[in-house]
Amino acid sequence: MAAEKKPMQTKNKVLIAGISLIIVAGIAVGVYFGVHKNSSSINRRCNGTPTTSAPPTSTTAVTPPDQKGTMINGTLFPYYNLTGEAPAPVGFLTPGTYSISYDDGPSEYTHELLDMLDKENLKVTFFVNGNNQGCIYDPKVQSVLKRAFESGHQIASHTWSHPQLPKLSVEGITTEMTRLEQAFQDILGVVPRYMRPPYGAGTFGPADTDAKVQTTLKNLGYVITTWDIATTDADIDDNNAVHKLSDEQLMKVEQGQVTSVVETGPKGATHMQLMHDTYMRTVRLMTPWTINYAKNLGYKLVPVATCLGDEDPRTWYSRIGPPSPNPPTTCTK
């Protein structure tokens, strides 16, 4: 399936803009998105929209001795030694952290990305669609999604079909989220608490459409998270004619998107970087460059939830239970 274009990212430029009152003193993270510039949107973009209660999770089963991790309500949380009740999620930025996240996948390049992340011993966040680049129920997609989860990466929602949420009714938004929830439950046994709206649409301003999106997602129990750095990889790849610009030239553009935010903001400010694991250059070139760049600046690379102070992976999900023994294999009803 051809890669879907990202119209808002082409228009958007990202900057550090202010300090939210709920963020730890001294941390400043802000975002420019075209005409959308206001302090309330900064808080939503970096901190997410907090929910009122933590998911009821507890360790209820013993992990088999041949598996690493902790078994919780029939779902294995890999590589985590979790005991007792899950703590309530936090709601502030963690100083010195840098999250790398990927939208729209998994794709044909995600296994290669996971190989790299395994070698670096790093965890990231995948904002997954149900039926966009491919069907989430396709056995190959299920395989890479399970591998990402079982490797300890955070899995989050990016809606079922990647629509612009303000254009949908409340019922349409709800269907986009709940249909993907069912797929996550079928395949992984968990339902994410964190989501990223496609294009960031519906989360930046006080307009009625934005309130509709935000209220609907909050009522569904979601934490809305966006980004403060967008490499614009999707716009560059989708709009670049074959051989028009070299990989080196394109990389300079994307690297500039990163450095223009990091190097103009306070030292150690928390950053959340958006990329797409659906592009070969992003996986093979931009990801290793970002890892080295952030590490050389002294950042700790973590998933988005950890960047937001939510360190226990049990609280990354609103429901935890056994996956389906026989999940569907197609997206058709």
Per-10-residue mean pLDDT of the chain, 333 residues long, equals: 41 33 32 31 42 49 72 90 86 92 95 97 97 94 96 97 95 98 97 96 77 94 94 78 75 94 94 95 96 97 96 95 94 81
pLDDT at residue number 110: 97
| Non-local CB neighbours of 74 within 8 Å, separated by 6+ positions | 61, 189, 321, 322, 323
Residue 155 to residue 77: CA distance in whole angstroms: 12
Helix (H) or strand (E) holding 301: strand 300-302
Q: Which 8-state DSSP code applies to residue 166?
A: G
pLDDT at residue number 204: 75
Q: Please report which residue ranges of 36-154 form alpha helices under DSSP H.
A: 39-47, 110-120, 139-150
Q: List the catalytic residue out of 210, 276, 277, 312.
A: 276
Tokens of 276: 């797409």
Residue 261 to residue 46: CA distance in whole angstroms: 14
Sign of dihedral through CA atoms 47, 51, 54, 55?
negative
Residue 153 to residue 142: CA distance in whole angstroms: 15
Residue 247 to residue 253: CA distance in whole angstroms: 10
103 is known as an active-site residue: yes
CA nearest neighbour of 95 among 271, 257, 297, 303: 271
User: Phi/psi at 248 (nearest 5 deg)?
Assistant: -65, -40
Count Cβ neighbours within 10 Å for each residue of 19-45 and write b for 16 or more, e otherwise.
bbeebeeebbbbbbbeebbeeebbbbb
Burial (CB count <10 Å: 0-12, 13-18, 19+), residue 67: exposed
Q: List the catalytic residue out of 103, 210, 277, 310.
A: 103
Domains of the chain: 7-48+90-320 (3.20.20.370)
Residue 308 to residue 97: CA distance in whole angstroms: 9
CA nearest neighbour of 20 among 333, 213, 309: 309
Diameter over CA atoms, the chain: 57
pLDDT at residue number 33: 33
Residue 201 to residue 13: CA distance in whole angstroms: 15
pLDDT at residue number 245: 77
276 is known as an active-site residue: yes
CA nearest neighbour of 188 among 231, 152, 242, 149: 149
